[in-house]
Chain A
Amino acid sequence: MMRSEWRDHDWQLIHTLPQSPSLHMALDDALVHEVGAGRRPPTLRIWEWAASAVVIGRFQSLRNEVDMQAAQRHRIEVVRRISGGGAMFIEPGNTITYSIYAPLSLIKGLSFQQAYAHMDEWVIEALATLGIKAWYQPLNDITSEGGKIAGAAQAHRGGAVLHHVTMAYDIDAAKMLDVLRIGREKLSDKGTTSAAKRVDPLRSQTGLPREAVIERMIATFRRRHGLTNDILRADELTRADALARERFSSPAWLADVP
């Protein structure tokens, strides 16, 4: 297998109405399989959130990472995703999340470190056009002079790679610390102090609404790689709905690493 270029593929965009956290987990699972099986062209999916969520990594301990009582108190849904990496705290409008489903050929021959950076070059460029000097910080972060912007995770399934990223637009740090068992030392390590009320590197450095940042990202991807607007097929949504119900909202999956 030769390494493919971005322009070798017929990229599709899915950006739809807000969906539940468990459905987002299921869509990642379903769509990476579709691309791996060759039934769907490579796709960029921008997430919109219908509810607040904590999303923990595939290998994280639920008990060690999440205060479930605090999550219930704040009405936050806790879900486990299919990729590794760390926990993220989501409220609708506070982050920008996207997934890329690509054939493995796109990262053929690259090290893990190179593959992460390669998948997000378009984002670094989009941020630059918005006046943010951002760069990839191995292993899996996008950072800036104003602090960490995003964390990425990849998972390989069949012939495809899932690369998904959550970017901090404007996060309520106090609520995040209430729900996630993060060392306060870690927050200060990321360029904020434990007293900070917001983690808002995208909002504060662009001064733009979240939607405008997303618009610029989509335009940048389209110009670099080509991008056709698409929608989820009925059978994809049926499959994802079933996965969301049977797997991604099940206590067994959530506590798979207790």
Chain B
Amino acid sequence: MAFGIGGCHEAHYASGDEEFRDAHMHGEYKMPGGKLVVVDLEVRDGRLADVQVSGDFFLEPDSALDAINRALDGQPGDADEAALTAALQRALAGDVMMYGLSAQAIAIAVRRAVDEEGTAP
């Protein structure tokens, strides 16, 4: 519902947030014809931890966001896109509706967070 918003965000973090930045990884992906998916996470002992998915997508019911985060927490840090997509699909009940979002888009954002960006800017 935004003004001027929807994709292509540049992520910034408030100055002075050093502790937050340390081990933090951040990835973004805008699926074609969809909305922006953002993933913030850490990798601890080789596994995804403190996973937080966010973005300007639409999701019903809204409690499904917690299910998405929980499905990703504890996944191997080297789980590939297909494995992450499958884990998400298993975790989401049949009545979950996504608009501008897909399990695969979330998986891609996770891989970008871990592979490409490393620590947040």
Chain A interface residues toward B at CB < 8 A: 55, 57-61, 63-64, 67-69, 81-89, 95, 112, 138-141, 148, 151-156, 164-166, 168, 171, 173, 176, 180-187, 189-190, 192, 199, 257-258
Contact = CB atoms under 8 A, between A and B. Distances in A.
Contacts of A182: 4-5, 9-10
A25 B59 CA distance: 18
A5 B99 CA distance: 24
The 9 closest A-B CB pairs, nearest first, are: A86-B2, A86-B5, A86-B56, A84-B58, A61-B54, A153-B1, A183-B10, A85-B1, A151-B1
Given A60-B56, A61-B38, A86 B11 contact: no
A186 B3 contact: no
A142 to B, nearest CB: 11
A180 B5 contact: yes
A148 B1 CA distance: 11
Given A139-B34, A139-B100, A199-B3, A85 B58 contact: yes
Contact of B8 (A156, A183, A258): A183
24 contacts: A59-B53, A59-B57, A64-B11, A81-B1, A83-B1, A84-B57, A85-B1, A86-B2, A95-B3, A138-B33, A140-B100, A141-B6, A148-B3, A148-B4, A151-B6, A153-B58, A165-B1, A166-B1, A166-B3, A171-B3, A181-B11, A182-B5, A185-B10, A257-B54
Contact of A258 (B10, B33, B34, B52): B52
Secondary structure at the B interface, as helix, strand, loop or mixed, is loop
Contacts of A138: 33
B74 interface: no
Interface string B20-36: 00000000000001110
Contact of A88 (B3, B11, B97, B99): B3
